[in-house]
A and B are shown apart, each in its own frame.
Chain A
Amino acid sequence: KNEVEQSPQNLTAQEGEFITINCSYSVGISALHWLQQHPGGGIVSLFMLSSGKKKHGRLIATINIQEKHSSLHITASHPRDSAVYICAVTKDFKETSGSRLTFGEGTQLTVNP
């Protein structure tokens, strides 16, 4: 069983729809990251969070530490949101460990016009 699991693996939506991608993890973490990878391959960090909720534009990320669960929401989705969304966690607690990430398998999102 993977330490970080995402659902769904694939998601197709119509433009304007509200989208939710889920991430569950089974290890203790110091932070959880949501990453976006576009078809060209580049990876961008969307959020890093260790508690509560963060919002950036149409994107919202939440985390429940007790339940070991995080969600990424996209409001008013747009075709340009089509990408792979990857959940990753920082497992290490030592100060010198930096951001050693453990990744989920990713969710392929396609938003149709």
Chain B
Amino acid sequence: DAGVIQSPRHEVTEMGQEVTLRCKPISGHDYLFWYRQTMMRGLELLIYFNNNVPIDDSGMPEDRFSAKMPNASFSTLKIQPSEPRDSAVYFCASSPPHGKGGNTIYFGEGSWLTVV
């Protein structure tokens, strides 16, 4: 299995621009998570989906952030407009259904975002 695939791996953008991060979860996993990692706050959950439905988006910092999961094999995290404080590593992760492989979680390589 190719694992969780994220793109882009690195992105540098100017303040005010729209940023779209993409994620392909592991086939058969029905949970998908978006996490953000910064030096100041460590790893934080932004939002997670179960069977393509958003379950908890309480970690989404503000209206500038939105996430979608149109099908079981694809999710996006969008920031519009981007700000320098959004600079971070964004991780996508997936996990199998509860009871099948337990709660083991698989992370993508991360998308390193720099907003200048």
The count of A-to-B residue pairs whose CB atoms sit within 8 angstroms is 65
Q: Is B43 within 8 A of A99, CB to CB?
A: no
- B-facing mask of A34-71, CB < 8 A → 1, else 0? 01000011111100100000000000000000000000
A86 beta carbon closer than 8 Å to chain B: yes
Q: Is B98 within 8 A of A105, CB to CB?
A: no
The binding surface of chain B is classed by DSSP as strand
Q: How far is the CB of A91 from chain B (nearest CB, A)?
A: 11
- Known pairs A41-B89, A45-B106; A96 contacts B55 (CB<8 A): yes
Q: Is A45 within 8 A of B55, CB to CB?
A: no
- Docked complex Cα distance between A35 and B104 (Å): 11
Q: Which residues of B contact A88 (CB under 8 A)?
A: 43
- Known pairs A96-B50, A98-B50; A90 contacts B103 (CB<8 A): yes
Closest Cβ neighbor of A106 among chain B residues: B42
Q: Which residues of A contact B55 (CB under 8 A)?
A: 96-98
By a beta-carbon cutoff of 8 Å, the part of chain A in contact with chain B is 30-31, 33, 35, 40-45, 48, 86, 88, 90, 95-101, 103, 105-106
* Cβ contacts A to B, 25 pairs, < 8 Å: A30-B103, A33-B103, A33-B105, A35-B107, A42-B109, A42-B110, A43-B93, A43-B107, A45-B104, A45-B107, A48-B102, A86-B43, A90-B103, A98-B48, A98-B50, A98-B98, A98-B103, A99-B93, A100-B33, A100-B45, A100-B48, A101-B33, A101-B45, A103-B43, A105-B42
